[in-house]
Every structure is written in structure tokens, then in C-alpha cells.
């Protein structure tokens, strides 16, 4: 027995995050080229052409450390979002700022509340801090938002040990979402000393009138933290850059906890360029909306159950066939995502691809049905 066994028990009990299978790995295994990756909710259109130019310019100075405070990007974001630069915390992807929130508020003896089937990182950062997770049962299959957040069940789990609440809107991997009134009422009911993280990684993709912009609640709720990312609609997943918007007081705490230089020079330059190309973002949103609608209609026409989604993915119930469907799609050159590690073994999560990728997905799925 190691002398560290007791102290490291929470860490040893962690189940590492499992990313989607890389395209290069599948192509190497099968000896093929041109595989489609519909597993990690990436932007199939890539990124703005302006990003490539910005990266080339920034690469001329990679011998220098990046701006540790991200001055220019924070100011650009602040102007875009209508907040102060002092309210923004940059992270190495939004996962990093989720971890910052956990390390700021959680330790042994405290608790975090989140929903069943919520983004897996909430549980990982809670456990890594030695805190206890209180997991609220999600809505059942009969609800309009099956497997979605039940805010009443989450509120019931809050007690005097609660320090942090995680909410994903929309949620990954279910694609479910919370409307403005219900989320606003929940935030009003949470005690002010408990921090609330609203994870809006897929914010820019959502196109429903009742979907809220949580930034509007920041002035009245200094315990609110909103997280967003450049990994999804902006197409910068490989550069790892996300951010939190909060009160200046909370941002100051996060900046005390975060690692120095957690946003690299290429990512900072790329993010600024990505923000400037509003036409690319609009095109990405329109392409995704059309693809998501097409995928859900195709599934519905064939009587295949799925969780209605407002993100850039849909989780499809193949039942006990899910592992076989996954392997068969792999062998044909399409990578999707098993989500048994979320407790959804009957489902595969499929990202929205380009029209051509969706065509190939349908061709490869049809004979499996």
C-alpha cells in the first residue's frame, strides 16, 4: 500500500474524460482517407479565413510569452458583450474556467449540485477538489425535454454545504435547454453565497425565442458565472480558448487561482480575428440549423427515437444496437460518439456535419436500421 493512498483517494477514483476518436487514428487503423468525424461537436466548416491570417502573423513572435491578461481580447469581448474587461476571465478552453470555479469554491466538506446527464466535466472537477456531488434526477422520457435539467430537483438538493451549482444551457450530451423564465426564477431562488455556473458553450448555435442570454442577469446576481468558448461555432477547438463572465469580484478570485499564460499567443490572436468575422458565424449558424433540422426529420421519418436538440448535435437512441451501430459506422468511415459514460448506453451522439457529411451518414446508417 502506498503512503499516498488515503490522501489521493478522490483522484484515484476519477474516471478520465474520454474524447471522441481522432480522425487520424481511425484512418490509420482502417488504412483509409477522408473519414468524417461527427463525434466532438466541432464546427465542420472549420474557422474564419481571417483566423489563419492572424495565426500566421502571431507565429512570428512565438519566442515571446503571451499577454498573460489577454488585454486586447478582453477589451474586444467586453465591447461585444456589453460588460467590463474586469468581468472576463480567460481560460484554456471553457473546461479550464469550469475548473477555476471548482477550485475557487470547492473543497472537502462542501458540495456541488448538477443534473443527471449533465456535462461530465462538472463531476470531474468536483471530485478532484475532494467535494461531494449532489446529482439531481433529470426529466424522464415523457417530458418535452427528456433527460434535461429538472431545476426543481436541483433546488431541492441545495443545503448549507452547497457552494457551487452547475447548469449547462443547452446541455451536452442531451441538447436540452432551459427557457428564460424557468432559469431566471431558479437563479433568483439560489442563495447569494452559492455560486451558479451557467455553461453556454453552445450559446451561438441556439435559435429559439425563449432561450435566455444569461449575461442579462449579472447585474442583479453577483454570484452568477457565465462560461462560453471559442471551440464550437468559432472553430478554434484545437487552440483551446474559453472565458467566463462574472462580477469583477469573482473574476479577481479566478485570476488568483488560474495558471499564468493559460491562453497562448496564437489562440489570443485567432480569437480576436474570429470575433471580427460575423459573416462566418452567421453562416455557421445557418448551416447548423439546416443540418440539425434535416437530421432530426430523417430520424423522425424512420421512427428512430432521439432527444430534441438545439445544439450542433443530436443524441439518438439505437437501444441495445448502439455498440454495433457505432462500430459499423466506424468501419464505414464515420466517427460518432458513444455516451454510455454519461449513463446513456442506448444512445449515440452525432454532431451536425456539412451537407455532404450528413449525406454519407444517412447512406451508412440506412442499411444498419
Cβ 338 vs Cβ 348: under 8 Å: yes
- Does domain 63-276 fall under CATH 3.40.640.10? My reply is yes
Q: Is residue 26's pLDDT more than 70? A: no
Alpha-carbon gap, residue 284 to 299, rounded angstroms:
22
Q: Which run of H or E residues covers position 349?
A: strand 347-351
Alpha helical stretches, state H, the chain: 9-12, 23-30, 49-58, 71-81, 94-105, 121-128, 151-156, 180-189, 248-257, 265-276, 278-301, 322-332, 355-365
Determine the pLDDT at residue 30: 66
Positions of CATH 3.40.640.10 in the chain: 63-276
Q: Which CATH architecture has domain 9-46+279-368?
A: Alpha-Beta Complex (3.90)
What backbone phi and psi angles, to 5 degrees, belong to 135?
Answer: -105, 120
Positions of CATH 3.90.1150.10 in the chain: 9-46+279-368
pLDDT in tens, 120-164: 999 999 999 999 999 999 999 999 999 999 999 999 999 999 999
pLDDT in tens, 245-272: 999 999 999 999 999 889 999 999 999 9
Q: Is residue 3's pLDDT more than 60? A: no
Cβ contacts of 249 within 8 Å, gap of 6 or more:
222
pLDDT in tens, 286-342: 999 999 999 999 999 999 999 999 999 999 999 999 999 999 999 999 999 999 999
pTM of this structure: 0.92
Average pLDDT over residues 29-33: 69
Amino acid at each position: 500500500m502506498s503512503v499516498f493512498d488515503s490522501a489521493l483517494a478522490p483522484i484515484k477514483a476519477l474516471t478520465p474524460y474520454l474524447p471522441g476518436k481522432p480522425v487520424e487514428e481511425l484512418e490509420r487503423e482502417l488504412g483509409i482517407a477522408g473519414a468524417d468525424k461527427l463525434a466532438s461537436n466541432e464546427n465542420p466548416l472549420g474557422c474564419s479565413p481571417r483566423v489563419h491570417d492572424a495565426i500566421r502573423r502571431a507565429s512570428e513572435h512565438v519566442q515571446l510569452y503571451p499577454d498573460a491578461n489577454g488585454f486586447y481580447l478582453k477589451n474586444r469581448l467586453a465591447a461585444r458583450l456589453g460588460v467590463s474587461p474586469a468581468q472576463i476571465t480567460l481560460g484554456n478552453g471553457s473546461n479550464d474556467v469550469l475548473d477555476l470555479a471548482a477550485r475557487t469554491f470547492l473543497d472537502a466538506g462542501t458540495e456541488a449540485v448538477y443534473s443527471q446527464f449533465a456535462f461530465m466535466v462538472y463531476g470531474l472537477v468536483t471530485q478532484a477538489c475532494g467535494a461531494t456531488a449532489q446529482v439531481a434526477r433529470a426529466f424522464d422520457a415523457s417530458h418535452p425535454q427528456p433527460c434535461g435539467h429538472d431545476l426543481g430537483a436541483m433546488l431541492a438538493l441545495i443545503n448549507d454545504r452547497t457552494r457551487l451549482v452547475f447548469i449547462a444551457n443547452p446541455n451536452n450530451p442531451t441538447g436540452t435547454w432551459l427557457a428564460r423564465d424557468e432559469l431566471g426564477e431558479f437563479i433568483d431562488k439560489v442563495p447569494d453565497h452559492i455560486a451558479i455556473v451557467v455553461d453556454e458553450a453552445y450559446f451561438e448555435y441556439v435559435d429559439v425565442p425563449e432561450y435566455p442570454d444569461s449575461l442579462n442577469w449579472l447585474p442583479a446576481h453577483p454570484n452568477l458565472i457565465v462560461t462560453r468558448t471559442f471551440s464550437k461555432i468559432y472553430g478554434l477547438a484545437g487552440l483551446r480558448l474559453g472565458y467566463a463572465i462574472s462580477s469583477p469580484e469573482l473574476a479577481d478570485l479566478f485570476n488568483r487561482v488560474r495558471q499564468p499564460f493559460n491562453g497562448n499567443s496564437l489562440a489570443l490572436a485567432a480569437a480576436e480575428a474570429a470575433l471580427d468575422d460575423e459573416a462566418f458565424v452567421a453562416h455557421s449558424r445557418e448551416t447548423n440549423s439546416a443540418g440539425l433540422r434535416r437530421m432530426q426529420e430523417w430520424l423522425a421519418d424512420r421512427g428512430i427515437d432521439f432527444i430534441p436538440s438545439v445544439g450542433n448535435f443530436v443524441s439518438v437512441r439505437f437501444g441495445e444496437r448502439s455498440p454495433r451501430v457505432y462500430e459499423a459506422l466506424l468501419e464505414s468511415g464515420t466517427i460518432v460518439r458513444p455516451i454510455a459514460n454519461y449513463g446513456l448506453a442506448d444512445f449515440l451522439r452525432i454532431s451536425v456535419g456539412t451537407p455532404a457529411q450528413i449525406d454519407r451518414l444517412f447512406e451508412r446508417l440506412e442499411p444498419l436500421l
